[in-house]
Amino acid sequence: MGKPIDKLTIKGFKSIRCLEDFRLGNLNILIGANGAGKSNFVSFFELFRVVLEEEKCKRKVLQSYVNKQGGGDQYFYLGPKFTRSIDVQIDCAEMYQFKMSLSPGAGGELLYEFQTVAETTGRHGDEVWFYLDELEGGVIRDWIVYHFHDTTLLAEVRRVRSKRDNEYLRADAGNLAAFLLRVRKKSPESYNKIREVVQLAAPFFDDFLLKEEEDSNDIFLEWRQKHTDYPFQPNQLSDGTLRFICLATALLQPDAPKIMLFDEPELGLHPYALTLLAEMFKKASLQTQVIVSTQSATLIDHFEPADIIVVDTAAGISRDVLAFAEAAHHSVVVTTGEPTSITDAYAMIKRLTQAHTGVRVSLLVNMAESRNQAKSIFERLAQASQKFLAAPLYNAGYVLWDEHLRQAVQQRRPVVLAYPRCQAAYCLLGLAGKLTRVAEAGAVEQGFFRKVVNWFF
């Protein structure tokens, strides 16, 4: 599969101050504290599609969408007075580049401007519009942000819908019955996979009852249990079961969108359903690009470390930073030789030791000029911690400044694999050894991600 998005740059959007040349893989699982920017990252794609729809289709849809979301000012990092513009660049499939700038209007509206395609591609005249049409039609239009949170009795997915609304599964699955009917006709194999995986999550479920009455254009998501032909209505499905049906249909559908995004898909699902969901995410990522924002430790356990993106918080001691640090049984505070960095490190050490959480606090000196400099920084902070905080500070070691580290980052390869004999690699291997010995020395009652999830709720 050729990835629709290779690199993404977002500056000034909501809580995302600067995300530059961020590379996406086939499967991207986002986790982070509340307010770190997971959902904002996902919502960016929704806004971008609306902007592009207005630009290409000449439909005035942007301001209506923005007003429903609370106005244009809330899109700017720390507000429009601090952030004058939102700048975006998307590199797609190593062939296309798309640039956009959003600025605040005097009345709270959102104004947009695309960089001329000629500037980024060298095309002119009719070629420009052909290029834009090809990019928008072949890449950007074909992504969907799925939200299956609304499963109330008035939710569209539980109501009567038109059978003709079946071209694609809508973002809220409001046309689920019509779409399933289309899948059953066009791709029986895909329909049977959806049915079978729903049966695994809900053993009582047998099949959907998707009636085709010639004298009616309406369709309803009826279903039946095993060992009975009694028709049940969608309102008789639990919220969790209905959400799982929506997720299974999205992930197992034939001809899936090029990019599928899911915001907190774990809501209302039991652990075994999360296991099935994780496997569907993996399978779907072989055919399309999948981006998932989650807070579920159970769901994360099913993925490889390379699939997981920890959405970090900004520097400083915010509530979210502290919650992440205090959720761990061993926190490593990282500092450099800069005075401001050392000051922030001491403030973090003070907060962690005074929280009485039993957290073991160690110090790592990063980008150290020499072993002696790292030793001096540690000793100064350790003495201050013992004298003023009456708390021990453990030495996690140091990582020496190494040009190979920068080169490895550019290659998107771990430095210990790209340059295993460089001094930074040796330092990191030493750090790994220390952390492993600490982990083996004491039993951990509760894992990090589970503590974080408990904090969320």
pLDDT, tens digit (0-9, with 9 covering 90-100), for 371-410: 999 999 999 899 988 888 888 999 999 999 999 988 888 7
Sequence-ordered list of residues with C-beta below 8 angstroms from that of 160, at least 6 positions apart, any chain:
218, 219, 220
Strand ranges (E), 264-410: 289-293, 308-310, 330-335, 360-368, 394-400
pLDDT band at 116 (very low <50, low <70, confident <90, very high): very low
Asked if 73 and 194 sit in the same domain, the reply is: no
C-beta of residue 353 within 8 angstroms of C-beta of residue 391: yes
Q: Phi-psi bin for 227: left (phi > 0), alpha (psi -120 to 50), beta?
A: left
418 pLDDT above the threshold of 50 = yes
Asked if 349 and 409 sit in the same domain, the reply is: yes
2 pLDDT above the threshold of 50 = no
258 pLDDT above the threshold of 50 = yes
Strand ranges (E), 295-449: 308-310, 330-335, 360-368, 394-400
Q: What percent of the chain has pLDDT above 90?
A: 41
Sequence-ordered list of residues with C-beta below 8 angstroms from that of 440, at least 6 positions apart, any chain:
none
Q: What was the pLDDT predicted at 139?
A: 52
- 202-248: per-residue pLDDT in tens? 999 999 999 876 677 889 899 999 999 899 999 999 999 999 999 99
317 pLDDT above the threshold of 60 = no
Asked if 228 and 135 sit in the same domain, the reply is: no
> What number is the average pLDDT over the span 134-154?
75
Asked if 428 and 349 sit in the same domain, the reply is: yes
The span from the CA of 231 to the CA of 235, in Å, is 12
C-beta of residue 21 within 8 angstroms of C-beta of residue 104: no
pLDDT band at 277 (very low <50, low <70, confident <90, very high): very high
Asked if 340 and 399 sit in the same domain, the reply is: yes
The span from the CA of 158 to the CA of 177, in Å, is 9
Query: What's the pTM value of the predicted model, to 2 decimals?
Result: 0.68
Provide the greatest CA pair distance for the chain. 85
445 pLDDT above the threshold of 60 = no
CATH of the domain at 298: 3.40.50
Q: What was the pLDDT predicted at 189?
A: 97
Q: What was the pLDDT predicted at 345?
A: 85
> What number is the average pLDDT over the span 355-369?
82
Asked if 338 and 356 sit in the same domain, the reply is: yes
CATH of the domain at 431: 3.40.50.300
pLDDT mean across residues, the chain: 83
Residues counted in the chain: 457
Which residue shows structure tokens 């559908």? 253
Asked if 338 and 448 sit in the same domain, the reply is: yes
pLDDT band at 453 (very low <50, low <70, confident <90, very high): very low
The span from the CA of 168 to the CA of 456, in Å, is 34
Q: What was the pLDDT predicted at 77?
A: 85
33 pLDDT above the threshold of 70 = no
Asked if 433 and 343 sit in the same domain, the reply is: yes
Q: Tell me how crowded residue 180 is: count the other CB atoms within 10 A of its CB.
A: 24
Asked if 350 and 242 sit in the same domain, the reply is: no
Q: What was the pLDDT predicted at 378?
A: 93
pLDDT band at 184 (very low <50, low <70, confident <90, very high): very high
Q: What was the pLDDT predicted at 181?
A: 95
C-beta of residue 261 within 8 angstroms of C-beta of residue 228: no
72 pLDDT above the threshold of 70 = yes
Asked if 206 and 342 sit in the same domain, the reply is: no
Q: What was the pLDDT predicted at 67?
A: 87
Q: Domain limits at 389?
A: 319-456
Q: Phi-psi bin for 160: left (phi > 0), alpha (psi -120 to 50), beta?
A: beta
Number of domains in the chain: 3
Asked if 208 and 134 sit in the same domain, the reply is: no
Q: Which tokens belong to 454?
A: 């408990």
> What number is the average pLDDT over the span 334-352?
83
The span from the CA of 430 to the CA of 434, in Å, is 6
Q: What was the pLDDT predicted at 262?
A: 96
Asked if 199 and 295 sit in the same domain, the reply is: no
Question: Strand 110-114 and strand 96-104: pairing?
Answer: antiparallel
The span from the CA of 153 to the CA of 157, in Å, is 9
Of the residues 256, 275, 303, the one at which a domain ends = 256
